[in-house]
Amino acid sequence: MKRQMHLNLFIHSRGHHEASWRHPAASSLALSDVRYYQALAQRAEAGLFDAIFLADQLALGDDVAHGPRTALEPLTLLAALAVSTSRIGLIATASTTYTEPFNLARQFASLDHISRGRIGWNIVTSWLASAARNYGGVSQVSHAERYARAEEFMTVVKGLWDSWAADAELDDRVAGRYADPSRIRPLNHEGAHYRVAGPLNLPRCPQGRPVLVQAGSSDTGRDFAARHAEAMFTAHLEKETAQAFYADLKKRVADAARDPEQALVLPGLSPLIASSAAEGTGRRSDVDVFDASYLHLFVWDGRANAIAGAYRLGLVDEILARHGPRGLYTHSLFDYGTGLLEALEPGHRARPLVPCAPSISAASPRSCCSGAGSAASSSARRATRSCSAPSASAAATRGPRGG
């Protein structure tokens, strides 16, 4: 079967680089101005990308003084992009922990109608403790509890999306029959976390269900993705770990009695686009000059030294407190973790130097690939293609749904 590459634009701030929002050539539009996103989506569509993706977080980051993290609420923004484009797939993040299943099912079904079948849902369980405090909690719900809720959540939303048969809406004006009640069934779900009567209060959407996307990296998250996701976001800094992730996830999909060819893996990539390596280096330097981040006070003899240095100098807690796990991942800590520390040979050490930028701009595993133009491959059912931007990711896969 012919292999096909799918490209997805991850719109993140004005670029994935920590200082891209400050660059003089960056868009002058505010990140709360819908025209900024409309222009990127339209350019992506013209560039034949499959889809665009919007991440989300449900709390204001502690580092807001030094850079933007989120702006417009993604589902609202997706509605605006749906009427500003005609072919490109549109994927937004929404939480199973802090959303009611009926609300979410209705919102995504409505968006799928508005876009005429181009919507995808990036399923997250929301790991930020600060998000819990915005939704009546004191501390974060445990990892196991979040995924237990998510599993039941998926049962409910899928049941709601399927509660209308494709032929239930008659719209017969002559006979005066709008719908066939026999083709609409209640859900009557009663579970450990949710009680939902159903059915959904709007007709079946064009795709039946939105394209389901997920980015779990834990064993629990990978099993969840294997059961439900049609596309899996991920980010790796080494080819070997990326290949291992791919093989593991495909096996889990097969073990879940699904066709592995219908579950795409979307690795993140954050490139700087230029006509030559020299020009690219120059563009990187142009951005780096604006980056005075605390994280960039070190140059490392390799990623192992980055991890070792951060731990040995007692910086991990401070980096987490100031920049969150995304900051750690930028410096490869999430990619290697403490296991590499234990395997380090004696004598490895970090070299504190003057401010400089890290060697690679990588994406958070929570939001997969990252970039305000970060691209990752996508599987939106009716998505055509989209855009070029400062950051991109791609996956060579066999076509979505056999295409």
Domains, the chain, with CATH or none: 3-162+204-273+367-402 (3.20.20.30), 292-352 (no CATH)
The pairing of strands 211-214 and 195-196 is unpaired
Residue with tokens 């159903």, as numbered in its chain: 198
Per the rule left: phi > 0, alpha: psi between -120 and 50, beta: everything else, 180 is: beta
Q: Report the phi/psi class of residue 17: left, alpha or beta, with left for phi > 0 and alpha for psi in -120 to 50.
A: beta
Q: How does pLDDT run along the chain (403 residues), one tens digit per residue?
A: 678 889 999 998 888 887 888 888 889 999 999 999 999 999 999 999 999 999 998 988 777 877 787 689 999 999 999 999 999 999 999 999 999 999 999 999 999 999 999 999 999 998 778 888 899 877 778 889 999 999 999 999 999 999 999 999 999 999 999 999 999 999 999 999 999 999 999 999 999 999 999 998 889 999 999 999 999 999 888 889 899 999 999 999 999 999 999 999 999 988 888 899 999 888 888 887 776 443 443 333 334 444 455 555 555 565 555 544 444 444 333 333 333 333 333 343 333 323 333 332 233 222 222 333 444 443 334 433 233 333 344 443 333 333 3
Is the Cβ–Cβ distance between 82 and 100 less than 8 Å? no
- Residue-level length of the chain: 403
Round to whole Å and give the CA distance between 52 and 10: 6
First to last CA, the chain: 10
State whether residue 106 is helix, strand or coil: helix
C-alpha angle 225/227/228, rounded to 5°? 65
37 within 8 A of 80, measured Cβ to Cβ: yes
